[in-house]
């Protein structure tokens, strides 16, 4: 995904009030004369192969070693921040209500639907612990994890950064995110913890010490800190 394209979506122009537009043939517009793909919101898209994802991650790791995780997180963070601004615009344009006044779950589901259509996977937000200042995001079919397969460690740093960046902008608080369970660790889905930086740092410490997602959840709920 790139900055909003100059291409306006023809189907959207035809049906401006339509909200169920996430079918592949509806959501994307293939501008064959220019070789570009734009989506319903005017965002530029590119198609990539699994080889591209593997090449990107392995190439980066070869260049910067273990810092590749931080680089991917930073890319995701910036992406999330930029996307929150973009989302602000198209959400208000489509639903005629400010994101700040919208129903939270509706808002968040609306934000993620384009990502689902683009192949980034489905998600589920677990806000049961929100009063303690953290929440979990379950991601199914992570594009990164399902490409890399079972490598025995978390690999979805791009997503963690994306969530951190988006929520930081949306709630106007500095938030961090960490993947505490990953499909690439042999799990059935990826699980992210979102919260204040000190809490995420504690979770990162426990994760490095060998704690499982379940262990981390228990420690957070009991108010543990490093």
Partner 1 sequence: MTAMIGLLPSESETRRLDVISVGEFFGEINWFGKPLSETDDFDSPDVPYETVGHFFATFPWHGPALNSAPASWDIAEDDESVPVETDTLTLEDLSALF
With binding defined as CB under 8 A, does residue 103 bind partner 1? yes
The encoded tokens of residue 137 equal: 């995001």
Q: Binding partner 1 by CB under 8 A: which of 155, 175, 190, 216?
A: 175
Q: Binding partner 1 by CB under 8 A: which of 32, 131, 208, 222?
A: 131
Least CB distance from residue 62 to partner 1, whole Å?
Answer: 37
With binding defined as CB under 8 A, does residue 171 bind partner 1? yes
Q: Binding partner 1 by CB under 8 A: which of 196, 201, 211, 219?
A: 196
Are 137 and 192 within 8 A, CB to CB? yes
With binding defined as CB under 8 A, does residue 8 bind partner 1? no
Least CB distance from residue 209 to partner 1, whole Å?
Answer: 25
With binding defined as CB under 8 A, does residue 170 bind partner 1? yes
CA distances from 126 to 62, 134, 139, 187 (A): 35, 10, 11, 18
Q: Binding partner 1 by CB under 8 A: which of 7, 44, 122, 130?
A: 130
Which of 161/195 has CB closer to partner 1? 195
Measured between alpha carbons, how far is 25 from 48 in angstroms, rounded to an integer? 18
The string of DSSP letters for 88-111 reads HHHHHHHHSS-GGGS-HHHHHHHH
Phi, psi of 54 (to 5 degrees): -65, -45
């Amino acid at each position: 995904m790139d900055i909003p394209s100059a291409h306006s979506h023809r189907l959207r122009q035809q049906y401006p009030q339509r909200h169920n537009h996430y079918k592949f043939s509806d959501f994307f517009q293939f501008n064959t004369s220019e070789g570009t793909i734009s989506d319903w919101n005017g965002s530029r898209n590119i198609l990539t192969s699994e080889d591209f994802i593997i090449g990107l991650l392995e190439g980066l790791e070869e260049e910067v070693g273990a810092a590749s995780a931080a680089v991917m997180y930073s890319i995701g963070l910036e992406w999330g921040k930029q996307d929150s601004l973009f989302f602000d615009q198209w959400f208000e344009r489509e639903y005629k209500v400010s994101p700040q006044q919208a129903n939270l779950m509706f808002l968040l589901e609306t934000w993620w639907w384009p990502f689902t259509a683009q192949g980034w996977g489905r998600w589920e937000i677990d806000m049961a612990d929100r009063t303690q200042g953290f929440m979990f995001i379950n991601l199914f079919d992570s594009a990164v994890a399902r490409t890399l397969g079972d490598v025995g460690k978390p690999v979805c740093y791009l997503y963690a950064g994306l969530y951190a960046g988006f929520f930081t902008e949306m709630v106007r608080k500095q938030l961090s995110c960490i993947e505490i369970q990953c499909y690439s660790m042999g799990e059935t889905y990826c699980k992210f913890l979102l919260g204040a930086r000190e809490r995420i740092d504690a979770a990162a410490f426990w994760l490095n010490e060998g704690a499982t997602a379940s262990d981390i959840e228990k420690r957070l709920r009991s108010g543990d800190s490093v």
